[in-house]
A and B are shown apart, each in its own frame.
Chain A
């Protein structure tokens, strides 16, 4: 038994202490061991949700992307002419100046 060295306790204290401690088993929830699968399950869930977010995002982007406009043949020629006239080298190196 421990040396008391001047410390006292109330009468019947240890009997009441034991009763209170025993009631811990009745009131506190028991803790069950968590298996390995349950431990890693959250990480799989995070990875799966990340993949799902990426796939959903890609799908939405594809569906909502504005399609490139299709030019008619006339519009394409017009664009080509505009580009040619805007090109300074085209003014210098056209067929009339190269082959006078």
Chain B
């Protein structure tokens, strides 16, 4: 299989899943579109270095997560230069998202996830939204299954606490 064929295969098999991962990280349809194109451009340029030592799935996801994290770090710097916070920016995006058609609880869930520390956010997004098995996640993030389960547990507790607070606020 030549590079073009392999790339087309990757696009066909993974583009939608990668887009959803990007969407969860950047909380905006347009930014997710942009980030997804950046991810696949990176995949295309890195294809010559892929020797099949890792599973294609692991390799693709690793690139996607690295690109997403890099983008968020750059956005954090830009926000800081405007004396703003990235957390506030993410909340604003989630509140004003024209493509969101869910419940207030789902909106609160997105905000709670956006506020998680980097590693916990990655684990939560992959586990909860993408329903990825821990064994696959372990290969992508190069972390033990036990550590991932612990991360997810902590992240889930934080998210639940935020949702309970939100629900209590609505009930008052």
Chain A positions near chain B (C-beta within 8 angstroms): 2-3, 5-9, 14, 17-18, 20-22, 24-25, 28, 30-33
Contacts and interface: CB of A to CB of B under 8 A. Distances in A.
B100 A24 contact: no
B44 A17 contact: no
Given A5-B129, A25-B3, A14 B19 contact: yes
B33 interface: yes
A28 B12 contact: no
Nearest to B20: A2
A7 B99 contact: yes
List the 4 shortest-distance A-B pairs measured between CB atoms, nearest first. Answer: A6-B102, A2-B20, A6-B106, A31-B45
Contacts of B3: 25, 30
Given A25-B44, A30-B48, A3 B37 contact: no
A20 B102 contact: no
Contacts of B131: 2-3
Interface of B: 3-4, 7-8, 11-12, 15-17, 19-21, 23, 29, 33, 36-37, 40-41, 44-49, 97, 99-103, 106-107, 109-110, 128-131
Nearest to A20: B37
A30 B110 CA distance: 37
Contact of B100 (A7, A22, A25): A7
Nearest to A9: B99
A86 to B, nearest CB: 74
A5 B44 contact: no
B136 to A, nearest CB: 14
Contact of A2 (B46, B100, B102, B130): B130
Given A5-B110, A21-B36, A28 B100 contact: no
B15 A21 contact: yes
A17 B36 contact: yes
B129 A28 contact: no
Contacts of B7: 22, 24-25
Contacts of B15: 14, 17-18, 21
Contacts of A17: 15-16, 19, 33, 36
A18 B12 contact: yes
